[in-house]
Structure 1
Amino acid sequence: MQKVPMLAEGYEKLTADLKAFRAERPLIVDAIEEARAHGDLSENAEYHAAKERQGQVEAQIADLEDKVSRAQIIDPASLSGDRVVFGATVTVLDEDDKPLKYQIVGQAESDAKVGRVSYESPLARALIGKSVGDEVEVTVPSGEKFYLVDKIEFI
């Protein structure tokens, strides 16, 4: 069973989402029962919508339960070293020497708008294992991008 690395806040988000989906289960059962009371199920749109929603919720619950059970919570403050690893905050310089700051995080907590990139992203894959002063080449939809690793922090 492969572990899923994540920060504590990503784990909390997953467990909160799981709790919300589990709370929705009885509401869906009630909706199905109410739709059944309307008669003919073959032409009952409410019934089919409720059953479809039930399938979606059960799939989400199964996925979240799997991720929670395989979670490996990593605290960046407990890490150290001179190489980029999961949880590290990396400052890179782009081709114009503009500094960009990214934290390597799990898929559940990634948000590129605030500089948090999933360890599965092309940028993070290119950065992991690099040291200060290393050059990184990343293939993006617009072509090739080059970065220089400027600083590695564990905060």
Structure 2
Amino acid sequence: MGRWRPPRPKSSAYITAAGARALTAELRELWKVERPKVTEVVHEAAKNGDRSENGDYIYGKKRLREIDSRVRFLTKRLESLTIVDRLPSDQSRVLFGAWVTLEDDDGVERCYQIVGPDEFNINEGKISMDSPLAQAMLKKQVDDEVMVRSADNEKNYYISAIEYKPYD
């Protein structure tokens, strides 16, 4: 099996202000804190002689490659993102940044915020605007039906609330 993988589908280029701050903080942490530490470890390990059997050197170089790759990705991604820091004028519809409360056919309610693909976290109730659920909800209003199809089933939800919280 070869190493070639098909390219990922292009993700949306929107992010909340909080998400942009988190990515910027990660970039700063990698570049200003972690990379200098790992560079120092590699430098000290290189002084010890034979590098082919030196674990600190080998794993340090591997970690440096990982850090550099992530730094390149974050730098390019932050340049291409559009930071959404204003609330929409029509807050009766589900748009980017909305907190949406969904009710399923059994009466169980779940609340999700629609965010950019770089900041989704299902444990915090944040779903990517590129996800099938978010795509089905976009531009809907309270009491509208949302149908999400997956490979093996179909699930219906009803929008019971839409809320926009001010961006910090």
The one of 23, 30, 33 aligned to 2:43: 33
The structural deviation recorded for 1:21 is 0.3
TM-score, normalization by structure 1? 0.86
CA distance in 2, matches of 1:26, 1:141: 47
Equivalent residue letter for 1:7? T
> 29-38 or 132-141: which moved more?
132-141
Gaps of 5+ in 1: none
TM-score, normalization by structure 2? 0.80
The structural deviation recorded for 1:79 is 4.1
RMSD between aligned residues: 2.3
How has the CA–CA distance of structure 1 residues 49 and 117 changed in structure 2, closer, same or farther, with 3 Å as cutoff? Answer: same
CA distance in 2, matches of 1:50, 1:79: 50
The structural deviation recorded for 1:76 is 5.2
Equivalent residue letter for 2:156? F
Return the structure number with greater helix share: 1
Percent of paired sites with the same residue: 36
1:32/1:47 contact within 8 Å kept: yes
What pairs with 1:69-148 in structure 2 (closer than 5 Å)? Answer: 69-75=79-85, 77-139=87-149, 143-148=153-158
The one of 16, 19, 34 aligned to 1:10: 19
- Tell me the number of residue pairs that the alignment of Structure 1 and Structure 2 aligns: 155
The structural deviation recorded for 1:3 is 6.5
CA distance in 2, matches of 1:98, 1:3: 30
Gaps of 5+ in 2: 1-10
